[in-house]
């Protein structure tokens, strides 16, 4: 990302380097062109998601007078900074080829993707939001025309007179599977998709063969007919769509081709946008057979990993129930926390990391992101890897769910959370209920600490852990009770839960106890993070394994979950994205975990992200012109 900066429309100085360390969207727009309002509405919808998903938005209003840009921003209610680029200096510097452009920039300042729209593109705000969500790796907003979570929406009518003058109606084909292709006659990807269908459809018996119909996204019948004939692709009925009514009905207003597969009952079972010459032909060959009721060929990747999409053609219920698990969103958490390039994290959040044909950081594959079917069932599942997990699934799970990354992992209690059978009743829920279940996956697990010991207070830790106690005593946790007294909330049980140690638990701060009478427990003490210590401080008690050691735990996988019990969105919004620096600021371990031996001071030292960013900021620094 080139160094850019300037003065915002509300007279603040800003540089792109100010946003380093966090992903952001660069939104460049000319407020005076026809498509600007639609793009603004789409970007505003995206901006509403930035706090929850750890990214920012930086706008650049270019090519218009400052007052015009200010009025446009006010009209659309932008709550993110917008640089005044009335001279088009930034647009020229970036060589933007279109008047509306969005660029996704990662935390290190690299542009990962761009998308733009010409002045007369006819875009909609929904199309802009959809494209922006995909670019920023956010879940797609559910629409009534996409098959999602096992729901098969009714297909809108497709009707008209084709290029040969014959009438066509989707409704008249009820009882037959149908493929609707929205295409541009000059688009090479569209030609590849149509070329595939020309070869693939005849392989299916005629009585089970889906009917193909095309809808041109441009209303130039002569040009479409001529190009299709010259390229040998005039083998199916093609309809014009003047006014774009069918495109609107199918939400096919963005990239092409859009392929929609409709079953004999008139319901949409599969759709895709764009065309991948490697993956789409075998995947669509399977879907065409499935929709028509013909035997489904098993076209799994012979040497690599296929990904969930292939499994889901035949195992549809399993593919849906998987989406109700955290496994399905494992890679999203890395993107959100800026760890999508960290091999230690990525290895357990993708399919086949480090294996032939598996996920590769140098050439990342979207279809292998998340903990997918082949992570648990092997490459190609039992079809290609019958010996995988021959010792049972517990041994497979613990390759990632180890002590460092998965606190309190127990196969018997964890397995139901990802069991297809256990989730089967969820298939009967409404779409809104299904989406609510997925939204609830973001809630942190409670009761992470051991519960079979009593609390003893932090003073009991001091004699053996003097250095740790001293570091803790100088921090805010040691004064947590005092903050409640200052705010007049010392009697508020909800507040005391997070401002005391072991509130209401055996040996912990009593529910009806005044802070002054329980000074040691009236703060966030050692046991708030390490668990109750009675079994640890008892005479002749084993010191290793009787208290929760955190020095050998992953900051994000384990420690964040402990902190997040209180530092949640309601009480400390954004904490989860700052956890590394917060932990570093009060890191105090002096004992090597699991050994009881003193830790080498140098080995415990960690450079905060903020220090690393200093060098990046210098590299990107550029003062805007005065």
Render pLDDT for 211-264 as a digit per residue (tens, 0 to 9): 999 999 999 999 999 999 999 999 999 999 999 999 999 999 878 999 999 999
Separation of alpha carbons 500 and 515, rounded Å = 9
pLDDT digit string, tens, across residues 50-99: 999 999 999 999 999 999 999 999 999 999 999 999 999 999 999 998 89
Whether residue 378 contacts residue 388, with contact meaning beta carbons closer than 8 Å, is answered with yes
pLDDT at 450: 59
| Long-range contacts formed by 573-576: CB under 8 A, 24+ apart | 573/51, 574/51, 574/54, 576/337
Preceding amide of 83 cis, omega within 30: no
Strands 82-85 and 13-15: unpaired
pLDDT at 599: 63
Q: Element (H or E) spanning 312, and its range?
A: helix 308-314
Reported confidence tier of residue 577, pLDDT bands at 50, 70, 90: confident
Q: Tell me the two tokens of residue 38.
A: 């639609």
Distance CA 31, CA 53 (A): 27
Q: Over pLDDT 90: what percentage of the chain?
A: 71
Residue pair 149/183 in contact by the 8 Å Cβ criterion: no
Q: Which of 71-75, 101-105, 153-157, 251-255 has the lowest mean pLDDT?
A: 251-255
Q: Identify the pLDDT of residue 288.
A: 98
- Provide the CATH topology of domain 159-292: Glutaredoxin (3.40.30)
**16 and 619 in contact (C-beta within 8 Å)?**
no
Give the global pTM. 0.82
Report yes or no: 350 and 359 within 8 Å, Cβ to Cβ.
yes
Residue with tokens 């055996």: 506
Q: Give the domain ranges of the chain.
A: 5-135, 159-292, 308-440, 459-611
Query: Once rounded to an integer, what is the mean pLDDT over residues 355-364?
Result: 95
Supply the pLDDT for residue 549: 83
Confidence grade of residue 609 (pLDDT, cut at 50, 70, 90): very low
Rounded to the nearest integer, the mean pLDDT of the chain is: 90
> What per-residue confidence (pLDDT) applies to 611?
39
Distance CA(482)–CA(495), nearest Å, equals 12
Query: What sign does the dihedral 506-512-517-520 (CA atoms) show?
Result: positive
Which 8-state DSSP code applies to residue 117?
Answer: E
Cα(124)–Cα(594) distance, integer angstroms: 58
Q: How confident is the model at residue 110 (pLDDT cuts 50, 70, 90)?
A: very high
What 8-state DSSP symbol labels residue 165?
A: S
Residue 594 has pLDDT above 80, yes or no: no
Which residue has tokens 């009905």?
Answer: 249
**128-150, pLDDT tens digit by residue?**
998 899 999 888 777 788 999 99
State which of 169-183, 242-256, 608-622 shows the largest mean pLDDT: 169-183
The residues facing 180 across adjacent strands are 213, 260
Comparing 122 with 327, the larger pLDDT belongs to 327
pLDDT of residue 448: 58
Angle between helices 36-47 and 125-135 (to 10 degrees): 50
CA distance 96 to 504: 61
CA distance 270 to 288: 10
Rama region for 204: left / alpha / beta (φ>0; ψ in -120 to 50; rest)? beta
What is the spatial distance between Cα 387 and Cα 390, in angstroms, rounded to a whole number? 5
Looking at residue 591, its pLDDT comes to 66
Check pLDDT > 70 for residue 605: no
Which pLDDT band holds residue 607 (cuts at 50, 70, 90)?
very low
Compare 223 and 468 and report the one with higher pLDDT.
223
The least confident of 44-48, 370-374, 585-589, 618-622 is 618-622
The CA distance from 617 to 156, in Å, is 52
Fold agreement (5-135, 159-292): yes
Domain 5-135 has CATH 3.40.50.10490: no
Check: CB of residue 305 under 8 Å from CB of residue 376.
no
Instruction: Say what the pLDDT of residue 148 is.
Output: 92
Determine the pLDDT at residue 596.
Answer: 59
Per-residue pLDDT, averaged over 42-49, amounts to 96
- Cross-strand partners of 58: 26
pLDDT given for residue 332 in this prediction = 93
pLDDT at 583: 81
């Amino acid at each position: 990302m080139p160094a850019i900066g300037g003065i915002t429309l509300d007279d603040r100085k800003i540089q792109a380097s100010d946003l380093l360390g966090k992903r952001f969207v660069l939104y460049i727009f000319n407020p005076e062109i026809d498509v600007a309002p639609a793009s603004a509405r789409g970007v505003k919808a995206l901006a509403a998601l930035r706090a929850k998903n750890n990214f920012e938005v930086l706008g650049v209003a270019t090519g218009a007078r400052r007052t015009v840009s200010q009025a446009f921003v006010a009209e659309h209610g932008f709550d993110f900074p917008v640089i005044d680029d009335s001279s088009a200096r930034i647009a020229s510097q970036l060589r933007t080829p279109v008047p509306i452009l969005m660029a996704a920039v990662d935390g290190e300042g690299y542009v990962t993707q761009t998308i733009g729209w010409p002045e007369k593109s006819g875009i909609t705000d929904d199309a802009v939001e959809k494209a922006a969500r995909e670019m920023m790796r956010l879940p797609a907003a559910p629409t009534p025309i996409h098959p999602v979570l096992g729901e098969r929406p009714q297909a809108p009518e497709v009707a008209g007179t084709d290029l040969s003058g014959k009438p066509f109606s989707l409704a008249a084909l009820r009882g037959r599977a149908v493929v609707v292709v929205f295409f541009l006659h000059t688009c090479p990807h569209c030609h590849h998709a149509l070329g595939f269908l020309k070869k693939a459809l005849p392989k299916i018996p005629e009585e089970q063969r889906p009917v193909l119909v095309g809808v041109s996204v441009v209303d130039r019948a002569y040009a479409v007919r001529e190009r299709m004939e010259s390229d040998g692709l005039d083998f199916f009925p093609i309809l014009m769509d003047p006014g774009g009514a069918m495109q609107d009905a199918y939400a096919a207003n963005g990239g092409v081709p859009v392929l929609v597969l409709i079953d004999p009952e008139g319901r949409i079972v599969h759709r895709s946008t764009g065309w991948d010459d490697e993956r789409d032909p075998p995947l669509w060959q399977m879907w065409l057979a499935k929709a028509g009721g013909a035997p489904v060929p098993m076209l799994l990747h012979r040497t690599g990993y296929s990904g969930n999409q292939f499994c889901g053609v035949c195992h549809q219920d399993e593919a849906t129930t998987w989406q109700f698990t955290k496994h399905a969103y494992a890679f999203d958490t890395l993107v959100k926390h800026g760890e999508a390039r960290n091999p230690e994290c990525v290895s357990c959040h993708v399919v086949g990391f480090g294996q032939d044909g598996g996920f590769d950081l140098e050439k990342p594959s979207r279809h292998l992101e998340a903990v997918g079917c082949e992570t648990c069932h092997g490459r190609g599942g039992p079809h290609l890897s019958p010996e995988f997990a021959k010792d049972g699934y517990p041994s497979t799970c613990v390759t990632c769910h180890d002590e460092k990354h998965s606190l309190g992992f127990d196969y018997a209690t964890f397995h139901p959370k990802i069991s297809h059978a256990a989730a089967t009743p969820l298939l009967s829920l409404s779409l809104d209920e299904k989406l609510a279940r997925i939204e609830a996956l973001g809630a942190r697990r409670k009761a992470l600490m051991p519960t079979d010991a009593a609390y003893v207070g932090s003073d009991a830790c001091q004699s053996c852990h003097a250095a740790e106690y001293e570091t803790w005593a100088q921090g805010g946790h040691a004064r947590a009770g005092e903050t409640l007294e200052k705010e007049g909330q010392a009697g508020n049980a909800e507040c005391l839960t997070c401002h005391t140690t072991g509130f209401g638990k055996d040996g912990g701060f009593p529910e009806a106890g005044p802070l002054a009478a329980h000074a040691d427990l009236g703060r966030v003490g050692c046991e708030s993070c390490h668990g109750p210590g009675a079994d640890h401080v008892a005479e002749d008690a084993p010191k290793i394994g009787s208290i929760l050691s955190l020095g050998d735990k992953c900051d994000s996988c384990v420690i964040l979950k402990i902190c997040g019990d209180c530092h949640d969105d309601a009480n400390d919004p954004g904490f989860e994205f700052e956890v590394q620096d917060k932990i570093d600021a009060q890191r105090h371990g002096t004992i090597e975990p699991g050994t009881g031996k003193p830790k080498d001071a140098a080995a415990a030292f960690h450079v905060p992200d903020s220090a690393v960013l200093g060098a990046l900021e210098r590299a990107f620094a550029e003062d805007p012109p005065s």
